[in-house]
Structure 1
Amino acid sequence: MHYDLALPREARALPHNPLKAIVAPRPIGWISAMNRAGAVNLAPYSFFNAVADNMVAFSSTGRKDAMTFAEEGQEFVCSLATWDLRDGMNDSSAPLPRGTSEFAFAKLETAPSHKVHPPRVAASPAALECRWLQTVPLVPLEGGEAENFLVIGQVVSIYIDPRYVVDGMVDTAAMHPIMRGGYFDYFHVTADTRFQMRRPKGAGEFTGS
């Protein structure tokens, strides 16, 4: 089977774009941002990831509040979405009238950040405090106006609940993060799904035949 994105939607081999089900599971960037007037927005983004050891990025379809607030305030925070917070994370994605607090709607408490103005989700076991670097319009091959925008931030401070630090290392599985799949699917990270692999030796150290 070949799913051709160049075809009209009704002529494609599947009723839904499979990209989100293939590029999965994906981390969820639970973004809080504050505009110049002090209003706070909270929203989850599944097109999110670390792009360097001190930078993260999320992609917004359309100029939504998380992006515009991050640009105005020059800061944003990524709180970790977890199994225990799954309903609050989902509720914070609801389309609300401008000015309505997603924190209040989702019954989530805020906690002050250390180096930036937007608050983090208080119950989340980890959060990345970021300074906005740039927004990159993702112009499609055929040209025209961009519909998607990549928001890049530099991490300046990291909050970690000390319960999840073991021997100087963060126990990711113990925090039970959730990740996004395709359609309505999510994935739940636990210790049962964890495995380790060591990086192989370089060619100069290779001793096999």
Structure 2
Amino acid sequence: MHYDAETKGLPHNPLKALVAPRPIGWISAMNRDGAVNLAPYSYFNAVATGPDMVMFSSAGRKDAMTFAEEGGEFVCNIATYDLREAVNATSAPLPRGTSEFTFAGLTPAPSRKVRPPRVAESPAALECKWLQTVPLTPLDGSDASHFLVIGQVVSIYIDDRFIKDGLVDTGAMRPILRGGYFDYFTAESETRFELRRPAGGGG
């Protein structure tokens, strides 16, 4: 079959089920007044190295995005299977001024090079300086309803328990990944395999 927005043919848009599983950026950000927001974003990924950059996409101008712009910084905390309920809880639309950290029973820990705190319970966190926000304008030229937030990674926290022989054991952290619908996946060490690129194919 072929699916598009006009003809459809399926009860739900299959895009999220096909571009999957996706890493979850658990974003903590602080505005200019010192208020902190914590929320998960499944449109998240690394986009460059040297310098390292990451992005997350916000549907509407939500607090994580506006706080990152105001404060000029944000932190991407690694969302794991053990923290899955807390990650989900921080997606709730809480009243203004309510702390997602407190609501989800999480501990804010000081970051090293940015003001927003990291999630102490998370095994790793990327401290970022905000670079730019890109409105995602659709083909018809209508106003953007989604926004791409890009940051440069300036420091990385990793729990020493997950470093083995100088390498990060990602699978041991059991990061959760987003699928389509209400589906999630985990990355497990047991299914890890290596593929060496052809000569000249990059690292």
Q: TM-score, normalised by structure 2?
A: 0.96
Is residue 179 of structure 1 aligned with residue 177 of structure 2? Answer: yes
Secondary structure of 1:118's aligned partner: coil
Structure 1 unpaired stretches of 5+: 204-209
Structure 1: how far apart are the matches of 2:191 and 2:70?
40
Structure 1: how far apart are the matches of 2:74 and 2:19?
25
Question: What amino acid is aligned across from residue 117 of structure 1 in structure 2?
Answer: R
Question: What amino acid is aligned across from residue 146 of structure 2 in structure 1?
Answer: N
Provide, for residues 138-163 of structure 1, a one-character-per-residue CA deviation record: whole Å limited to 9, x for no partner: 00000121000000000000000011
> Which residue does the alignment assign to 1:112?
110
Structure 2: how far apart are the matches of 1:202 and 1:115?
36
What is the Cα-based RMSD across aligned positions, in Å? 1.0
Out of 36, 40, 51, the residue aligned to residue 40 of structure 1 is: 36
Secondary structure of 1:129's aligned partner: strand
> Which residue does the alignment assign to 2:139?
141
Question: What amino acid is aligned across from residue 19 of structure 1 in structure 2?
Answer: L
Structure 2: how far apart are the matches of 1:104 and 1:194?
35
> Which residue does the alignment assign to 1:2?
2
Structure 2: how far apart are the matches of 1:12 and 1:175?
38
Question: What amino acid is aligned across from residue 126 of structure 2 in structure 1?
Answer: L
Shift of 1:12: 1.6
Shift of 1:189: 1.0
Question: What amino acid is aligned across from residue 43 of structure 2 in structure 1?
Answer: F
Structure 2: how far apart are the matches of 1:138 and 1:121?
29
Structure 1: how far apart are the matches of 2:57 and 2:25?
10
Structure 2: how far apart are the matches of 1:4 and 1:155?
36
Q: How does 1:21-170 map to 2 (within 5 A)?
A: 21-53=17-49, 54-170=52-168
Out of 10, 16, 32, the residue aligned to residue 12 of structure 2 is: 16
Structure 1: how far apart are the matches of 2:60 and 2:200?
45
Structure 1 runs (4+) greater than 6 angstroms displaced: none
Question: What amino acid is aligned across from residue 13 of structure 1 in structure 2?
Answer: G
Question: What amino acid is aligned across from residue 199 of structure 1 in structure 2?
Answer: R
Q: How does 1:190-201 map to 2 (within 5 A)?
A: 190-201=188-199
Structure 2 unpaired stretches of 5+: none
Question: What amino acid is aligned across from residue 160 of structure 1 in structure 2?
Answer: I
Question: What amino acid is aligned across from residue 136 of structure 1 in structure 2?
Answer: V
> Which residue does the alignment assign to 1:206?
none
Provide, for residues 17-65 of structure 1, a one-character-per-residue CA deviation record: whole Å limited to 9, x for no partner: 1100000000000000000111000000000000002000000010000
Structure 2: how far apart are the matches of 1:107 and 1:27?
22
Structure 1: how far apart are the matches of 2:59 and 2:192?
32
Structure 1: how far apart are the matches of 2:186 and 2:163?
20
Shift of 1:130: 0.1
Shift of 1:202: 4.6
Structure 2: how far apart are the matches of 1:35 and 1:153?
15
Bigger CA radius of gyration: 1
